[in-house]
Amino acid sequence: MMKRFTMSGSLPKLQFRKDKSKARWDAEMGMAEVIEKRGSLWTSMRVVRRSKAYCFIEEILYLAQIGVLVLLDADDTVLSLKDICEKFAEGKNGCHWEAFEAYRHLKSLGYIVSRHGVPWTIKSVKSFPELACLKGTTESNEIADRISEDKLSIISLLKDLHINEVRLDFDVYLPNSKFRKSCPGDPSFILRLNQGPTTIESRD
């Protein structure tokens, strides 16, 4: 089942909160490493590789807008919301404005949203068919180790996804207080976003 819709609207004003998480921007990756994590929002956000957590540009902008994230530059200079928007507007980090509007809207409704094809953790073996029949075996552990060092290294993964292309797909899950990134299950639907009409692909 395919549906079409469009979204528009101005960016919300920056909100201010006392307890904030911190992340440091990595220009080479086009992502930010989370260096101080506070609050429950992280339960369904960020990806974890080699014991380090990273967030995508849409997550950074969303969290900065609601006032729960401070983004630092490589020299630990605090970046303003305007600075973050300028990084976003460069279009080099895998997300365009139309995609962000959809992401922000779904997050505001409580949905869990992630980039399609990017597992949150190495433990998300369901995302890799080659591991499904080997789960729990010595061979599966060896394969997972190889994936963690090669295929799932953050930079190579992003290159494989061709992040500079105009299309971006999101996996969307229904609101769920018991959601676990290590075992997310199948998404409720996939949101396919182009710089133009947007489509929803139902999983039913």
Total of domains in the chain: 1
72 within 8 A of 79, measured Cβ to Cβ: yes
- Identify the domain containing residue 48 by its residue range: 14-123+155-202
pLDDT at 133: 37
pTM for this model (two decimals) = 0.71
Choose among 178, 196, 189, 120: nearest CA to 154: 120
- Inter-helix orientation angle 81-89/97-108, to 10°: 130
Q: What is the amino acid identity at position 123?
A: K
pLDDT at 82: 95
pLDDT at 135: 42
145 within 8 A of 123, measured Cβ to Cβ: no
* Domain annotation covers residue 72: yes
Residue 188 belongs to domain with CATH number:
3.40.1170.20
* Domain annotation covers residue 2: no
Reported for 173-179, long-range contacts at CB under 8 A and 24+ positions apart, including other chains, are: 173/44, 173/111, 173/112, 173/113, 174/111, 174/112, 175/109, 175/110, 175/111, 175/112, 176/112, 179/43, 179/44, 179/112
pLDDT at 136: 45
pLDDT at 163: 43
pLDDT along the chain (204 residues), means of 10: 41 57 93 92 87 93 95 95 93 88 94 90 54 41 46 49 60 92 89 65 58
* Domain annotation covers residue 43: yes
pLDDT at 192: 87
pLDDT at 113: 96
3-state secondary structure of 146: helix
| Whole-number Å distance between alpha carbons of 145 and 59 | 27
* Domain annotation covers residue 177: yes
pLDDT at 201: 60
* C-alpha torsion sign, points 187, 166, 74, 17: negative
pLDDT at 137: 43
Longest Cα separation, the chain: 52
